[in-house]
Amino acid sequence: MVQFYFAAVVSSQQLPAQKQHPRFGVCRKKLAITEDHLEIRSLDHSALLVRNVEKSRYFYGQVLGMEEVPRPASFQFPGAWFRKGRAEIHLIGEDEAGRAAEMRPDNYRPAELATGHGPHIAFEVADLESAQEHLRRHQVEIVGGPRPRGDGPIQLYVLDPDSYLVELFVR
């Protein structure tokens, strides 16, 4: 195991030279890196900046069927957290009107939507046909698919209320 220092940039006078990263400077937090890579155990959550927490709450809670879970009471900004199995989505309400639109891609071309060629999140579902019917009942447009994904699963794409691209797939 290789020891590596990573995080906040501080003065080069504070730590010995061998603990400086060429791009990030001197760091305070020690991370274990094995075989020249960081050992990531799992993806804990994805956080999305949203314009309207209530619209997004409906989409992730009612349309996708995720369970809303408590978030820390100390948070001083609007938001909501959702979980399904080990997947978590943290919705962060914008503090400044229009900021969510500035920070996310919403200029997808039709071909990019159809193939998921862009930043997106993906959820495995039990039955894609049932998922399609469910989406139609909730008036959620399918913007891509269903189509085979290159590694075998069948996938489709929808946009959430803030135009984040969401993939649903079945193995």
What is the phi-psi region of residue 122: left when phi exceeds 0, alpha when psi lies from -120 to 50, beta otherwise?
A: beta
Does the pTM exceed 0.85? no
pLDDT of residue 108: 85
What does the pLDDT read at residue 156? 96
Residue ranges of domains in the chain, CATH in brackets? 2-38 (no CATH), 46-101 (3.10.180.10), 105-170 (3.10.180.10)
Answer whether 2's CB lies under 8 Å from 34's CB: yes
pLDDT of residue 4: 37
Q: Is 136 helix (H, G, I), strand (E, B) or coil?
A: helix
Q: Are 27 and 21 in contact (CB under 8 A)?
A: yes
Task: Give residue 10's pLDDT.
Answer: 37
Q: What's the confidence (pLDDT) of residue 159?
A: 94
Tens of pLDDT along the chain (171 residues)?
333 333 333 334 444 444 555 555 555 555 555 456 677 777 889 999 999 999 999 999 999 999 999 999 999 899 999 999 999 999 999 988 988 888 766 778 899 888 998 889 999 999 999 999 999 999 999 999 999 998 899 999 999 999 999 999 999
Which pLDDT does position 140 carry in this prediction?
96
Q: How far apart are the first and last CA of the chain?
A: 36
